[in-house]
């Protein structure tokens, strides 16, 4: 099974780590279970309850790229205190869900069809994979935006153009208002633009969305602000 969180989006890795830590403080022993899922693994899961024994657990075929697990932005948790991996008789998953939501994650326990209490995902691209599919087409393109520091100038320019073009496609987005809220990979760029007077924000603060942050960091690495 695909239980390697290091294959997931860096922000998800950070939040998974925090979830485990925060839950531990409350006596909730959480283990990260399934996270990144390949096409073959998703197909395997799709077959369950259809052409293979078991209950139906997903609506998503591998080729459809419609599971958030296939985009590296979702993980499932397992109860790891010896009382049963999915034992929810004492509302354990609800307590973990509450902690995850505080960390800004979307929790599958809030969904209605299907309710998926062990499931958490990043909110940045909406609840479903529709926007990710529309913007990036496939997970390989999406992955290229994860670690901008390892890219060549040609690669960043290509992505900068693509992301800029996609900016017309509006979607709800995480917003940073203070410099301390900005992730490490973006701080230098934001500081640079503030110092240059290019970036002023408004009365609420920076009012900087995750998408815009990603774009300006990519531009910065491409030397646009030098
Ligand atoms: Zn899940």
Q: What is the pTM of this model?
A: 0.66
Query: What distance in angstroms lies between residue 83's CA and the mean position of ligand 1's atoms?
Result: 21
Residues 166, 197: one domain?
Answer: yes
- Going through the chain in order, the beta strands assigned E by DSSP cover 30-32, 74-79, 106-107, 119-121, 175-176, 208-209
Query: What distance in angstroms lies between residue 120's CA and the mean position of ligand 1's atoms?
Result: 7
Instruction: Quote the pLDDT of residue 163.
Output: 67
| 134 found inside a domain | no
Residues 9, 60: one domain?
Answer: yes
Query: What distance in angstroms lies between residue 118's CA and the mean position of ligand 1's atoms?
Result: 7
| 159 found inside a domain | yes
Domain of residue 65, residue span: 5-121
All residues at 6 or more sequence positions from 173 whose CB lies less than 8 Å from its CB, including other chains = 124, 209, 210, 211, 212
The angle formed by the CA atoms of residues 210, 216 and 221, to the nearest 5 degrees, is: 125
Residues 13, 112: one domain?
Answer: yes
Instruction: Quote the pLDDT of residue 25.
Output: 97
Q: How far is CA 185 from CA 67, 146, 162, 178, 198, in A?
A: 27, 10, 20, 15, 19
Cα 215–chain centre separation? 17
Domain boundary among 87, 121, 155: 121
Instruction: Quote the pLDDT of residue 166.
Output: 63
All residues at 6 or more sequence positions from 204 whose CB lies less than 8 Å from its CB, including other chains = 177
All residues at 6 or more sequence positions from 88 whose CB lies less than 8 Å from its CB, including other chains = 94, 117
SS3 of the chain: helix, strand, coil, percent, to 5: 45, 10, 45
- Tally of CB atoms within 10 A around 27: 8
Beta bridge partners of 107: 120
Residue 203 in tokens: 């009365």
Query: What distance in angstroms lies between residue 75's CA and the mean position of ligand 1's atoms?
Result: 5
Domain boundary among 68, 87, 121: 121
Residues 18, 110: one domain?
Answer: yes
| 128 found inside a domain | no
> What single DSSP character describes residue 151?
-
CB 5 within 8 A of CB 13: yes
Q: What is the mean pLDDT of each run of 10 residues along the chain (226 residues)?
A: 85 95 98 93 92 88 91 97 97 98 97 92 94 88 76 69 61 76 89 83 80 86 81
Instruction: Quote the pLDDT of residue 57.
Output: 81
Residues 64, 112: one domain?
Answer: yes
CB 10 within 8 A of CB 147: yes
Query: What distance in angstroms lies between residue 156's CA and the mean position of ligand 1's atoms?
Result: 31
Instruction: Quote the pLDDT of residue 88.
Output: 97
């Amino acid at each position: 099974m695909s239980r390697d969180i290091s294959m997931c989006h860096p922000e998800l890795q950070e939040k998974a780590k925090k979830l485990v830590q925060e839950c531990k403080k409350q006596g909730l022993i959480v283990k990260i279970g399934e996270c990144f899922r390949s096409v073959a693994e998703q197909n395997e899961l799709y077959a369950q309850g259809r052409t293979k024994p078991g209950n139906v657990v997903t609506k998503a075929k591998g080729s459809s790229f419609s599971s958030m697990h296939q985009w590296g932005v979702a993980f499932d948790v397992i109860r790891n205190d010896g009382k049963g991996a999915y034992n929810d008789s004492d509302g354990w998953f609800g307590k973990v869900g509450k902690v995850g939501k505080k960390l800004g994650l979307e929790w599958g326990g809030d969904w209605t069809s299907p309710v998926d209490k062990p499931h958490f995902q990043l909110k940045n691209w909406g609840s479903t994979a529709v926007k990710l599919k529309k913007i990036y087409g496939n997970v390989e393109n999406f992955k290229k935006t994860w670690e901008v520091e390892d890219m060549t100038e040609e690669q960043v320019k290509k992505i900068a153009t693509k992301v800029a073009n996609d900016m017309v496609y509006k979607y709800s987005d995480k917003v940073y208002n203070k410099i301390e809220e900005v992730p490490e990979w973006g701080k230098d760029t934001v500081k640079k633009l503030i110092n240059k007077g290019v970036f002023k924000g408004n009365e609420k603060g920076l009012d900087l969305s995750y998408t815009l942050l990603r774009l300006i960091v990519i531009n910065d690495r491409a030397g646009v602000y030098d």
